[in-house]
Every structure is written in structure tokens, then in C-alpha cells.
Amino acid sequence: MSRHGRAIRFIETYCAAPKGEGFGRPMRLARFQKEWLEATLADRMNVSILTTPRGNGKSSFGGAVGVWAVFDDEETGAPQVPVIATTIGQAIRSCYGVAASMVHAHPDLEDRALIYTGITTPRIYVPFNEGELFPISNAPDGLQGLDPSFALVDEIGFQPVTSWDALRLAQGKRSRSVVTGVGTPGLNHENALYLIRSLVHEGADLPGVHFTEYAAPDSADIGSRATWRQANPAIRAGFLREQVLETDYALARKGGVAEANFRIFRLGQWVFGVDSWLGPDGPALWEGQAVTPGFTDGAPTWIGVDIALKQDTSAVVVMQRRADGRYHAEARIWRPTADRPVDVTDVMGFLRDQHSRFRVEGISFDPRFFDVPAKMLADEGLPMNEQPQTVERMTAAYVSLYAAIRDRRITHDGNDAFATHVLNGVARLTERGFMLEKGKSRGKIDAAVALALAYDLALRFEPEVSVYAERGALEF
């Protein structure tokens, strides 16, 4: 029997549906699930992705596949099956928790396994083959130490690329090892799913990679039942009620965030900046301000710098005032990789280049992670401007930037990464206005922070126009 055929037979014999349609009875895999398993378990396959809207049985299916992989995958020896999520708790609530329920529910599985429920080391251990199924967070350091035979990445559309890279770099120690990812589209483009999807859609040569996507075309009628069925194979399989989508669509018809969420979570479409601080029309507003050409050599220039820890993203935004009174901004973003953190000397070199090319009036930075490099640059003659990111200072900066973007007074070069950082921002209200908070936002916002610093600095140099100069002659 083929490997995928054995997996299907195992799941349909031993794994009971833990919830929903068919609860308590042995699972019956849908055609689309069997087809994905066949492709995933083929020879020489290393990476396999399944992306669907919510409600298409990803957690139940993933949990069942995990149970098979730890009990019955005879080709790997001592199977190691990690379930990766943002936190261990999230992994337990998704595929791992489903897998544990399935093992408890079938006496033949429960008699052959030990289920540990410790807070820090929950896992399912199978003594006869020394297999382990366990939840783990997406911290890159922990992922690099794995030796997976079959890895399950939950909600891959919300997993950082650095975590995904760290997990893939753990492969290669076995003759057969597969890393799989399941999930819905994320709320931004800075995630592992969007990276893989982009490469597939660009026609990149990706040996050993399988990608299955169920989604409605961007141009589809979102109120059409045919569109719903196209995006949701579970409707055809009989375990997703179409009536639920009717209710969701009725609520989504008012537009805005409700419609965007329907497109993402019910139709599998990628919608950018759903809950952005710039509002539901933020993506279109920002995109509409892309212009060329950009900068003028030797012109007055202001720069904002947001430096993070070496394991995080850093950004620099350069800004000039255009002849029409608007401000043009461009960003340079540094991303760490699994084996190389951001080198602050690269950022320093970039700032030196800008200083030699333009008439830099000021470089605004937070001294927390850039204090020593900033002092070195100041000694070289660069106009460094210390700007601690306190609530008082940054609230005013963000409020001014928001008004400028909404009034179309900020232009940019159309860089996708820059747009992602700007639209990722989610507002946190304060007594003085609002802040953009990295922990609350939907992804990296370092370039948005640097943009706020650059614009705030530029406003200090904005020429003042006397109200008296605008008045006519005195009348008697």
C-alpha cells in the first residue's frame, strides 16, 4: 500500500472527529484532504502547504495527520512530530489538542501512548516506536534544535518568516522529513505563507514544495454561492454549512472591516491593512500616493531611524519636501535571518551615504538601541537628533503623520515592504491621542515609526508664513 493510502486508512480507522459534523465517529476524509495527503507524502517532498478559509476542518485534519505521523509513519524511525504555533498554548488549542483528544478517544491508541500534561512539557509519547508529538512555540532558537519527521505549522499565514526558516533549517537529518503548513491568509504580507505563495505565483522553481490554495478570485462576486463553494471545499464535502456564510455575508455587506474579514476568513482572499490605523480605505489611500521621481541630490533632507534588537527588524526613512509642498518618503528596511541578525554597522553605513548625498538637516532616533552608534556618527559630523519614544512625544508625531497621510501630503516610491509596515500599525488610544504599538500591531511597523520620526523632524523646519503677509492694504 502507498504511504498516503496507509495514512488515510489509519486516520479513517483510528481517528474520531472531535467536534462538528460526525462528532465521535471515525473521520471520513474529504476528497481535497486525500489529494493533499497524496501530494504531501510523495517521494522527495520536503514542504507542503494547505491554505483554505476558516471552517474547512484544518485543525481536525491536522490533528489526525499528526496522530498518524507519530503512531504509524514507519519510514522515519523514532518519529518527531512538532506542532508549531505562536505560543505553546495556541498549539495546544489547535492541532495538538485535537490529536490528544483523538488518542484519548480510541482505546487502541490510548493503550499504546503516554500523554504528558505538564505545563512546560506537554507531549504524546509512543513507546513502541519512540515517537513524540508535542506543541512548541515559534521561537527560532527552539525550532532550530528540532529533528522533525513530520512538522505541522498551524496558521502559517500568521507565522514570521524567520520562524519558518529556522524550522526548515532543522530538516535534512533524516532520509525523509516533511514540514507542512496549514492556515488562512494573514492580515499582512510579512509571513511565511505569503512568501511561499508569492514564489509559487511567480513561477519560481521550488523542488520538493507542494502548494494547495482554496480561495475565491479577487474579481469574484463575493455574494455568489458559486464563489463560496469555490473557496470552501468543505461545503461540497458536507461539513461546512452554507447558511453560516449567508449570515456572515449579510453582516459584511456594510463594507469596511466587516467585508474585509469576510473576504479573508470566508473566501481565502488576501486583503491588506484590514484594521490599519489609517482606516479601511488606508491601503488604497497609501497606494494612491506612490510617485516618481523621488529625491533631489543636495536638497534638504530629514531622516527617521527605528533600531530594534539584533533579532528584530530595523528601518530608516528618508524624507524631502517636494516643490508642491508635499513630503516624499522612502524606506530602507533590514530584516534578520535565521543565521544572521541585523548588523547595526550596515545602518550606520547607509546613514553616512545619505549624509554625503543630501543636505541632511537632522536624523531623529531613539537612544535605547542606537545610543553608542549615534554618538559615533555625531562625532563624524552627522546631525543626530535624540528623540526618546515616549507617549507624549510619539502621540503628537503619530497624530501629525495621520493627518498628513489622510490629507495626501505624504508621497512615497511604492515600495511594498514600506507599505506593509505603514499599514500594519494598529492604534492604541491615549489621553493625548493615539500611539502605534508594536505589540498590538499586525506585523512589523518599524518603517512606520521611522516615518513618524522623519515627518515630525521635517515639520520643525517647515517655513512659516506670516498671516500679515497674506492680507491686503489697509482701508480707511
Residue 346: CB partners within 8 Å, gap ≥ 6? 334
Residues 293 and 385 occupy one common structural domain: yes
- Are residues 434 and 313 part of one domain? yes
| Residue at which a domain ends, from 213, 233, 258 | 213
Q: Quick one: 14 and 154 in the same domain?
A: yes
CATH number for the domain including 60?
3.40.50.300
Does residue 84 lie in a domain region?
A: yes
Q: The domain spanning residue 444 has which CATH number?
A: 3.30.420.240
Q: Which SS3 state, helix, strand or coil, does residue 306 take?
A: strand
Position 286 scores a pLDDT of 93
Is residue 201 located within the same domain as residue 340?
no
Q: What is the DSSP letter of 211?
A: E
- Distance in angstroms (rounded) separating the CA atoms of residues 226 and 244: 15
Compute the 3-state secondary structure of the chain and give helix, strand, coil in percent, each to the nearest 5.
40, 20, 40
**What does the angle CA 146 – CA 191 – CA 418 come to, to the nearest 5 degrees?**
140
- pLDDT confidence of residue 467: 39
Measured between its terminal Cα atoms, the distance across the chain in Å is 105
Instruction: Write out the three cell numbers for 50.
Output: 494547505
Residues 333 and 195 in one domain: no
What domain count does the chain have? 2
Residue 124's domain spans which residues?
A: 3-213
How would you class 21 by CB atoms within 10 Å of its CB: exposed for 0-12, middle for 13-18, buried for 19 or more?
Answer: middle
Q: Does residue 415 lie within any of the structural domains?
A: yes
The pTM for the full model equals 0.72
DSSP one-letter code for 442: S
Inter-residue contact 96 to 137 (CB < 8 Å): no
Kindly state whether residues 34 and 115 are assigned to the same domain.
yes
The reply to whether 357 falls in a domain is yes
From 213, 228, 254, the end of a domain falls on: 213
208 and 305, same domain (yes or no): no
Q: Is residue 239 part of a domain?
A: no
Say if residue 338 is in the same domain as residue 191: no
Distance CA 273, CA 428 (A): 16
**Does residue 476 sit within a domain?**
no
| Same-domain pairing of 301 and 191 | no
166 and 69 housed in the same domain: yes
Task: Mark whether 141 and 36 lie in a shared domain.
Answer: yes
Domain boundary (189, 213, 237) is at 213
- Tell me if 110 is assigned to some domain: yes
Sign of torsion over alpha carbons 11, 16, 17, 23 = positive
Asked whether residue 123 is assigned to any structural domain, the reply reads yes
Residue 250 falls within a domain, yes or no?
A: no
Please, what are the averages of pLDDT over each run of 10 residues along the chain (476 residues)? 93 86 83 97 95 94 96 80 92 92 94 86 92 94 90 93 91 89 86 94 95 95 96 94 94 79 92 78 89 91 88 91 94 86 93 97 93 96 93 90 94 94 85 77 88 95 50 40
Question: Do 307 and 173 sit in the same domain of this protein?
Answer: no
- pLDDT for res 470: 44
